[in-house]
Structures are given as C-alpha cells and as structure tokens.
Amino acid sequence: MAKSSNKESYDKIFSKLKEHHKWFSNSIPLIASENIPSPAVREAIISDFGNRYAEGWPGERVYAGCVYIDDVEFECMKLAKKLYKAKFADVRPVSGVVANLAIYSAFSNPGDIMLAPSIPAGGHISHGKKEHSGTAGLVHGLEIEFYPFNAEEMTIDVDKTKAKVKELEKNGRLPKIAMFGGSLFLFPHPVKELANFLKSYDIHINYDAAHVAGLIAGGKFQDPLREGADTMTMSTHKTLFGPQGGLVLGSKEHEEKIKKAMFPGLTSSHHIHHMAGKAIAFAEALEFGKDYASQILKNAKAFGEALSDFGFKVLGESRGFTQSHQIAVNVLDYSDGGKVEAELEKANIIVNRQLIPGDIKAGRNYFHPGGIRLGVSEITRIGMKQKEMKEIAAFIKEIVIEKKDPKKILPKIKAFRKDYQKVQYCFDKKLGAYEYVKLR
C-alpha cells in the first residue's frame, strides 16, 4: 500500500531533525545567543513534567498532581538564588522576553518612559519602540528613550546619560525604568556609575543579563545586583547553558509584584520540563561555572586578536576587543554582514549578521548591516580553547578576505570539528553533544 501523505510528512520531519543534528555536529556554531545543553538537561526536558500544568506558586498550585513538580521548583529557586546571590527568584518565565515583560508589567504603566540601548548600540528588540514592533512599546505601551552611546568604547556614555535624564525630567518625561544589558554586548554597562544617580530620581533599574548570565554566574562579568540593579532578567540558554527559558531575580521587596505579573499575568503553563532543566543547569553552573566562564573570556580574546591580526576590523579594539563571549566585526571592507553570513554558512560556519554603530545613519538595514557577531559559548562548552580560536579565525579569513570557495574549505572544517563532540563542564557526559535521540 502506498504511504499516506500524512505519514510521509511525519517521516520527513524526523529525517529533517536528524539531518539538522548531523549538520551541527559538523559545524562551527558561533551564534552568540546559542549554546549546547548537557545530556542531563536534555533528559529533564523529555520527562513527563512537560505534559503537566502547575499554575501558580509551588505549594499554592491551582491543580493537584504537583507533588514532585513542587519539590523540583523549590530546588530550582534555591539554586537560582544561590547562583546569583539573590533574595528572590521567579523561575517561571518561559523566555527572556517574558522575563522582561514581567518587569515592565510590575514596575511601569503603559505610557511610561523607559531608558534603553538602541539596537545598533546593542539593545534587544524586547526593549524596543512600538514603531519597530519592539516588545516594550508594542505589548506594554512604553515609550523608549535611548541611552547616549560611545561607539569607540562600545558602551553607554555616563555623563551624556545623566544630562539626558535631567533634560527628560525638565520636559516632564522622566523614565520609570532604566534597562541595562543587550544583545551586542562586548563590555559591561555602567550600572555602578549610574545607579545612585538613577535612584535619586526613583527610576527602577533592571539589568537584562540574557546574553551574559553564564558569565555573571561564573563571576567573570559585572555583578549587577551588587552594583545597584534592582532586578535582573535573563534567558537561561545563551552563555548560561540551560534549556530555552527565562528567569527574574530581585529582592524581597519586589517579590509580590513580580509573582503577580508572572502568574496570572504572563504565564499559564510555565513549561515545567524546562523549569526542571533550568534547575539542572543552575547546579552545573554552580559546580563548573567559574572554569567555563574564564575559558570563554580567554577564547573570546584570543579569537578577537586572531581576527584582528588577519586584518579584520574588530570592534572595541581600543579596549582589547571584548570582555564577554562576543566579538563584533565590521566587514564592510569585503561586502556586508548579510553576504558574509551566507558565505560562511556554506562552509558550516554559523554566524549572524549584526547592525553596528553607524549603520542606521549610513542607510544600512538589518538584511545588509555592516557587521557580524561571533560568540564562543557553544564552542567553549564542547571543549575548544585558544588554539582552536586561531584555527577558526583562519577559516573565516580564507572565506571572507581571500574569497576562497567555501565548499573547498568545508572538508577541512569537518575534519577540525571531529574532536569536539562532547559537552564539557557538566556532571554526566555519556550522550554526544549533537547525538540524535530516538524514542520511537
């Protein structure tokens, strides 16, 4: 009997999943917002927790059946608080965007003003204006004012920010929230330098650690909650190597407002299997996070230096290129970020194009921006060190500067990649990092 078209679709999906796994096991994954979770996290997210509801707060659920879920969620909160030295943790946000929405909902009203980095200055679309379909503007009705940005130093300008806030106050537009953190994020933001000033105006300070959560956990970036941030939001899957999800941290005084915003405001199911996966990742970060984060910083520096030595214009040169997991490269001497991204993909080097300071003024857009962004989190997690960074920089040079055919470089990349197939910095390493798990 001929196969039904339904069964054909069903089979096709599995074959695409398998091809994807194989492709990534042969690739150099440099997307700065991505990482590879441990086999333990993968085990947690295929558990039955993923089929359950646990609305509300552990111990005060809306449904029965949550005995073990509650135990895990209490443990998850305990680990999150220990990892980030916070008094309060809400582990329910299903993503970083939802975590940010919890802050907007808890600490502002529609029509209020938020101070945030613009996108070419590293901001994330969840901090963005309504006219750009940014979450803050579109979903919560916030009006956005951008921080003045120093493109040479690649960070927020402290003095100009103070002047801007004073000016905004004069015009009756004092911000309710100051959002720090970003997606293109090479150097710490001046939280310490601005916190007292912002607090003197009663501005709520949130630090969006989506990208740098794993570095903060390892003690290798700034420590926002000690520098004056009231709350901290994050994704749990970027430098932090958990399952996809979000987290909000704060002090006791913020607890009630955030809890209400999260439920019933922003979640019904909070994806409990991912909550369990977060707990596992927090335990791994507590145990292995320092070594992991310090290797990330060494790798990112080595990568930036190698690219610069090959002639690339690496941003943040005056400050040593980076103090995070990211490198940003201006590729306008060769083509543009979009074209470079596509060429590298043909050689299994996965990067993303990036708007960089100056792009919008020059009329460049998101499809053909001036830069690319490179992240070393995932390649660090699978065991690569400084020497491998130099090799990857050389592959990129061959394709982008020397314009060699990516297909000719591909076999070298596959061979280079063979030795890095296990997740490091975790308790259990049995399953291969990119191994496909068949349950049928």
Q: Which residues make up the interface to ligand PLP (CB under 6 A)?
A: 33, 95-97, 100, 124, 126, 181-183, 208, 210-211, 235, 246
* 325 DSSP 8-state letter: S
| Nearest residue to ligand PLP on Cβ basis | 96
147: left (phi over 0), alpha (psi -120 to 50) or beta: beta
Q: Which is nearer to ligand PLP, 306 or 372 (CB)?
A: 372
The SS3 of residue 268 is coil
Minimum Å gap between C-beta 138 and ligand PLP is 14
Q: Is the CB of residue 180 less than 8 Å from the CB of residue 189? A: yes
β-pair partners for 329: 314, 372
Q: Which is nearer to ligand PLP, 332 or 350 (CB)?
A: 350
Between the alpha carbon of residue 135 and those of residues 43, 100, 143, 182, the distances in Å are 32, 9, 11, 14
Minimum Å gap between C-beta 332 and ligand PLP is 24
Q: Which is nearer to ligand PLP, 93 or 406 (CB)?
A: 93
Minimum Å gap between C-beta 144 and ligand PLP is 14
Q: Which is nearer to ligand PLP, 121 or 379 (CB)?
A: 121
Q: Which is nearer to ligand PLP, 66 or 281 (CB)?
A: 281
Minimum Å gap between C-beta 95 and ligand PLP is 3
Minimum Å gap between C-beta 224 and ligand PLP is 13
Minimum Å gap between C-beta 380 and ligand PLP is 18
User: What are the residues whose beta carbons fall under 8 Å from the beta carbon of 421, sequence distance 6 or more?
Assistant: 25, 382, 432, 433, 434
Minimum Å gap between C-beta 156 and ligand PLP is 14
Tokens of 34: 């991505």
Q: Which is nearer to ligand PLP, 324 or 348 (CB)?
A: 324
Class of residue 379 by CB neighbours under 10 A (exposed 0-12, middle 13-18, buried 19+): buried
Minimum Å gap between C-beta 210 and ligand PLP is 3
DSSP string over 117-185: --TTTT--GGG--GGGT-HHHHHH--EEEEPPEETTTTEE-HHHHHHHHHHHHHTT---SEEEE--SS-
Minimum Å gap between C-beta 221 and ligand PLP is 13
Q: Is the CB of residue 114 less than 8 Å from the CB of residue 104? A: yes
Between the alpha carbon of residue 17 and those of residues 5, 11, 372, 435, the distances in Å are 18, 10, 27, 11
Q: Which is nearer to ligand PLP, 115 or 393 (CB)?
A: 115
Q: What angle do CA 55, 60, 62 make, to 5 degrees?
A: 40
Distance CA 396, CA 77 (A): 42
Q: Which is nearer to ligand PLP, 183 or 324 (CB)?
A: 183
Whose tokens are 């299997």? That residue is 273
Whose tokens are 């608080």? That residue is 81
What is the chain's Cα-based Rg? 22
C-alpha dihedral sign at 184, 80, 99, 240:
positive
Minimum Å gap between C-beta 197 and ligand PLP is 22
Q: Which is nearer to ligand PLP, 72 or 210 (CB)?
A: 210
Q: Which is nearer to ligand PLP, 246 or 304 (CB)?
A: 246
Tokens of 96: 């970083």
